[in-house]
Amino acid sequence: MIAGAVKQNERYLGDLLSLSANALLRASLSQALTFSLSAVLWCSLAGQSAKADTLIYGGTVLTMADEQAAPFIGYVQIEDNKISAIGPMTEVPTHAQRKIDASGKVIIPGFISGHNHLWQSAFRGIASDQALYGWLGALHWTFGDYFAPGDFYTFTLHGALDQLAHGITTTYNHSQRLGASEQLYLESFDAGVDSGQRFIFSYNANSDADVSQIEPSVEAFLAYVKLKGGPTVLGLSINAVGIYRDNQLFFDREIQVARANDMTVQMHYLEDYANRELEQDRWSRIVQAKAVGKDVSYAHFIHTTDAILKQTAEQGGAMIWNPLSNGRLASGLPAIKDYLQRGIRVGLGVDGAASADIADPFENMRMGLYSLRMQAMDPDVFSPLDILRMHTLGTAAALGVDEQIGSLEVGKLADLLIIDLDQPVTGALFDLPASLVFSASAANIESVMVGGEIRASRLSPLNHDMSQLQAELKDRVRALIARQQKAVTE
């Protein structure tokens, strides 16, 4: 897994970005295969340029760090994209090249979405009365074969920027190939790089191809990442799908190739209530493939059994809970308290915008917390701070990147939010975590910072024209629908 990819120099990137996708797949492949992922990162490190140090001061800091639960009025200092110092105002540095006065505001880590399909941002509101498989029929199985060049790029960029504007500084892009060629599919990666949002990219091997093609396709993808990646590529993963193609050999090989290349694994598992028994029966196949361990996370993971939970906990596995999507698709509510008590790492995701419809982590936290309290009929079952930490440090831990993101601590990447609880107004402040979870929304986010640079403000990305992108997205969806309808009638 790539952990903490850093910035390549601008000239090098400019040359690379001018190459076509086909040229990139061909370029230096044999050389790329001789390098480990750590070597890829070292090349990036060599070209990193220093940035001006930044001091954010006067705000109420909620770090989410294990040893610092209480908020305090203080400062965060940033150098070379990372937090270099943090503390109370009594210790605030006197000099910095750039200063940001956050007095009266709140400083927290950026939110992390542990499971997402960014391309689905183009299909909000679809199949509003369907559970998972009816919804899949209306989206994937209706339109998946008709994507044109540029669709994946536009749809993914739209999803990434929308998340970024809502305060999600890191996302796990559980990418999906649908019917696309490799060249079209890799537009999803390109869009993530261009968005400015930090991400882990989950590669989806072509399950229609022979099992012998998995390793070469992953190697070609790693070469592509070496050429096109940048500082926002936080890691690489595998979207393991062989288990859903009734192809155990393919599934086994996905897991083997992932581990051979230091990539993590994530799979959809135990999401749909109507198919829960079929899903539970697949557990033996997951164990057979050795798809259990610290490098594996399960998206949704709702309708489990005691045996599944026991083995997951023993092997150090993780799950990503998606409250908004699970509610929208009537998937059910996982026993989160039990999972945590067993030692299973739990993170939060907003899932795809076609099943969650809004990329607001505040709404996701509220939905999750209220659901758990309704389930337990106990207002003390989870606190606002618990759910805040779950959508930040907890998700980072579930994905194995908590040494780099998830909390405001010295040495971690400077991905953070400056929140203004007075615009829009949220009332008097009695309990900061409670106000953030119960009363705030993404509209209260004044600034979204990635690596110490402001990427979005007041629900608007700063480096992209969302109005223009939205217009292009609508045009592309109309053309996509027309192609699909034409194919059906012919």
Q: What share of the chain is helix, strand, coil (3-state, %, to 5)?
A: 45, 20, 35
Calpha distance 349→396 (Å, rounded)? 11
- How far is residue 313 CA from its own chain's centroid? 23
Which residues, 6+ apart, have CB-to-CB distance to 3 below 8 Å?
A: 41, 234, 235, 401, 403, 404
Structure confidence by residue, pLDDT tens digits, 429-457: 999 999 999 999 999 999 999 999 999 99
Q: Where are the domains of the chain?
A: 54-109+407-455, 111-388
Nearest to 448 by CA among 468, 464, 432: 464
Structure confidence by residue, pLDDT tens digits, 142-173: 999 999 999 999 999 999 999 999 999 999 99
Considering the segment(s) 54-109+407-455 as one domain, its CATH architecture is Roll (2.30)
Structure confidence by residue, pLDDT tens digits, 230-287: 999 999 999 999 999 889 999 999 999 999 999 999 999 999 999 999 999 999 999 9
Same fold flag, 54-109+407-455 and 111-388: no
Beta bridge partners of 449: 416, 454
pLDDT at 20 > cutoff 80 = no
Chain-wide mean pLDDT for the chain? 91
pLDDT at 45 > cutoff 60 = no
Calpha distance 346→340 (Å, rounded)? 7
Kindly indicate whether the domain formed by 111-388 is annotated with CATH number 3.20.20.190: no
Using a 10 angstrom Cβ sphere, with 0-12 exposed, 13-18 middle and 19 or more buried, the burial of residue 155 is: buried
